[in-house]
Structure 1
Amino acid sequence: MQNVSDELFDVIIVGGGVMGSATAYHASKRGLKTLLIEQFDFLHHRGSSHGESRTIRANYSKPYYYPLVMESYTLWQQVQAQIGYNVYFPAHQLDMGHAHDHTLLKILENCSNHGIPHEVLNRCQLAEKFSGRIDFPDDSIGILNEFGGVIKATKAVAMFQTLAHKNGAVLKDNKEITDIKKDERGVVVVSASNNETFRGKKCVVTVGAWMSKLKDERGVVVVSASNNETFRGKKCVVTVGAWMSKLVKKVSGVEIPIKPVEIHVFYWRVKEGHEGDFAIGGDFPTFSSHGGVHVFGTPSLEYPGLVKIVVDSGDKCDPDKREWGPGVRMNELKEWIKESFNGLVDWREPVVKQACMYSMTPDNDYVVDFLGGQFGKDVVVGGGFSGHGFKMAPVIGRILAELAVDGVPSGGTDISPFGIGRFNNSQK
């Protein structure tokens, strides 16, 4: 087994879910010496990145997500081409709800502002479009566009990890991180153009007119594991999902209001003889129902003859002491299925149940920022993806790697809505 405790990495990524794995892929693709650390087994089922599928859609009510998701569509296809198998499966996206629902109106505005081709369907048009497979009340509408799809979740995480390893990244699992701190010895790393490095306790810089161009490389970060093993890196990215608040508060005193929520995913049986009508690759869409109980789902893919239909809510939990409860709002979900699929989906009981966690912020927006304080720009955090982040993993991974190494995301990517400062945090 490779001993990396004495090595100095360009970037250490703490958390091996989809965001950390995508960050490791992007960092290693640039030739950076990269370490990815996971507290449990890689591809474990205790967090937020496992399971069979996630949806991808462009129908956001907040406009700043549109460029991110559109880049993600491109990156998913580019990355899967490198690995040689598919993790992204295209479909149309259908959003449904009352004609005056605020979220639907914002989605319509977003489609118009960004030139997304779409159809607005009333009840009769919807029935005709999908041959009676989907129904909703007379006062509702549907917004249909081509930018939907399904991402194979665990398969996608494995893809990023495999490519990162192929690019030279070091992957370490079953390493619970207990502390992150700046090097107490104040080690300064000086790098030459031939990639040679020199290390010293102090450094005097006298480069005259070139002073402003010289990068400060004093930020050596020490990451400590529960077995007293330590890892050293010039930069660190923290992507620990539902454990973000706990770890960040412990190492810095910063309180980021990210609340873990336990979510239950259900698969329901399609009526015999109609399995193909609900399968991926046909015309059946990924879908969301807004207003009242928020329901979303996908065509059948992972389990033939079963469709995934989920209530987009859950109960707050401690990620280390989960109750693995029976799920919430089941009666409302059953009623929604009964009314929406004209008897073609058995609404009485789900066939398969899975559990995972969301990491929720108060405004449902991400956290992508420098940790600041004693860490300055040496530690970057990515979390609080609030149940809609998985689809963005390729672009978030790019942004996190660029923040750590370059200090800014490329291409003028706007991450201003995702700053820690919006929560008015204070440090100890």
Structure 2
Amino acid sequence: MIIDLPSTTTSKVNKKLVELRESGGAVALGRVLTLAIITDDGTQAEEAIAAANEASREHPCRVVLIAKGARRAAARLDAQIRVGGDAGASEVIMLRLYGPLADEGASCLVPLLLPDAPVVAWWPYETPKVPADDPIGRLAHRRITDAKSERNPVKALEHRAAVYADGDTDLAWTRLTSWRALLATALDLPPHEKVESATVTGRADSPSTTLLAAWLATALQVPVQRVRSEDGQGIVSVVLERPSGKITLDRPDGQVATLTQPGQPDRRVTLHRRSVRDCLIEELRRLDPDEIYSMTLKALPKVERRGSGTSAGRSTVKRSTRSSAKSSVASVAGKTTKTTKPSAATGAKASARAVAKSAGIARGGRRTAEPKPSRRSSAASARARGKAVENGEDAGEQS
């Protein structure tokens, strides 16, 4: 059942809910929480309601969707109530706010909260800068965001870490539950060796990949690399280095993963990408602060980021080429220093000229030419030859 209430007030919405409860039975007695969804009006609102309806089958709740409309319009509140088959196991109240009322979502939400029930706020798309300081965020025991929907998911995740408060969580973290469970199970099998390092590969715009790398860094206290992948979806693979060999969890197609470890047969496990509905159901199971998520956010700076395999290889070649060139010059300089020890009078300039001469390269990359004798040296050579001739003649006469 869908009931539209155009140009209404929150008090009229409450009265209508009471009428529905009296006519249709105890509609709201079995609700365990109030789920507030904050988004813009349009198709995004319907997608969020669809996910909330599916989640309500496990967590019966009152869903209050605050859809922000055009801010240049006149102040107006349009409401819609959905119960029965159109609301799953919950009751849905849609509040479309227009004009200046679009910024008063908290004031419209308070009269519709279930008494003595926890409040969960969910921003499926655009998120306030500090969810805990948002007017609706202050009312909530739990604040759910989704870094994946941001323009720059990884930077959004780093911002979440900077403004984190107890009760904050993100669906990018919830998507890791299956990965964390499989990796923990693999480490429980013998041989029980210490992990030396880890590598997590995934799409560049995957915040879950970055969170998984940070979780491994804080849980194992080992160096972790986050490698960018151009193929696959989300997280592609995880490699744990141990003395006996590698533990590899590879999911190239986003559906089925292969777990490989020394001394064990390869195992194929279902590891599909989790939907928003599944993640929302899991988040509504607990309303206390997530300490592991908080520790993972703090470990984000520990993750070493690296480019894709191709680009990483090219950069490695470039670095090795530079280092080889530097080592060649250094070795030449060392040989020159050993064979020709410059005197104190020549100084540092003479040493530099000797290194350049021995390398055969002058400034600008041009090869050095043979040194031309100066006029003074030519005159000195002529006088020396003259003296040698005279000495030779004298020696002939004496003999």
TM over 0.5: no
Q: Which has the higher strand share?
A: 1
- Higher RCO by CA contacts (8 Å cutoff, separation 6 or greater): 1
Larger radius of gyration: 2
- TM-score, normalised via structure 1 length: 0.21
Q: Which has the higher helix share?
A: 2
- TM-score, normalised via structure 2 length: 0.22
